[in-house]
A = this chain, B = another copy of it.
Amino acid sequence: MAKEQGGGPPRYRQLADVLIGDISRGRLKVGETIPGELELVARFKVSRHTVREALRVLDDLGLIDRQQGVGTVVRARQSSPSYVQSVRTPSELMRYPADSRLIVAGTARVKANRQLARLLDVRTGSDWLKVSALRRLKSNPLPMAWTDVYLLPEYADIVPQIGKRGLMVYQLVEATHGEHVEHIQVRIRAGTVTAELAGPLEAQVGAPSLTVVRHYYGRGGRPFEISISEHPSDRYMYSLDLLRGWQSSDTWTTK
């Protein structure tokens, strides 16, 4: 009743959360046309502008497809069970040469600002636990990769184990919390490292690099871990087998 707006999230975001919840709980099924804007206006007692703002959030998240004259439908994002097995093992292949060392530089609780939210494809203002680490070879003082892992705060207890057992945090989560990873998404960006990411990654501003953003989705499509890796220089080449997973190698040297 009444406004009840004081301090809470904006209404378009509340509405977006409701719709996202409906999708994740299966009340709005994939391929199904969701209620039209005007119906949402009537149902939630907000202006059409607010409805469209909420739908834009879902659109930015890739949850819906909108088409003029047709409507808005829930986008397909389901996982095929047959691949799930092969996704698990492959991540273990993403290991570096045996003489590499992982150094956890620090952890911090962060809220996703706009830039981070866009890069990570999460909602602005959401809380994350950030674990910064770098990997380097014993023989070479120059780090070969920086990684920031963004983890749901509720899994904070596994952080101490990261240094010992590696950065495949989702495996630790599975082992200690029984969570199950359904689906991994990888985004790759070329070019120079920007100052988008605060923290140790700043060291690489201006240097050409490969940025890999990995999303780990738990049951119901809920993202619970995101990792960003920066690989400096163009000396490294990533190898990805679509059926077997990641592998990186330092054998590639240009010039």
Contact = CB atoms under 8 A, between A and B. Distances in A.
B189 A208 contact: no
Most buried by B among A66, A114, A183, A188: A188
Chain copies in complex: 2
B239 A185 contact: yes
B243 A191 contact: no
A185 B240 contact: yes
Contact of A87 (B192, B238, B243): B243
Given A76-B195, A115-B65, A195-B76, A190 B234 contact: yes
Nearest to A80: B243
Contact of A241 (B115, B183, B190, B210): B183
A184 interface: yes
Interface string A45-85: 00000000000000000100110000000001111100110
A242 B188 contact: no
Contacts of A235: 189, 191
A146 to B, nearest CB: 13
B238 A189 contact: yes
Interface string A81-95: 001100100100000
29 contacts: A77-B194, A83-B242, A83-B243, A87-B242, A87-B243, A90-B242, A185-B239, A185-B240, A186-B239, A186-B241, A187-B238, A188-B188, A188-B237, A188-B238, A189-B210, A189-B234, A189-B252, A190-B209, A190-B231, A190-B233, A191-B208, A191-B209, A191-B235, A191-B254, A192-B208, A192-B234, A194-B255, A240-B240, A242-B245
Interface of A: 62, 65-66, 76-80, 83-84, 87, 90, 114-115, 118, 182-192, 194-196, 206, 208-211, 231, 233-246, 252, 254-255
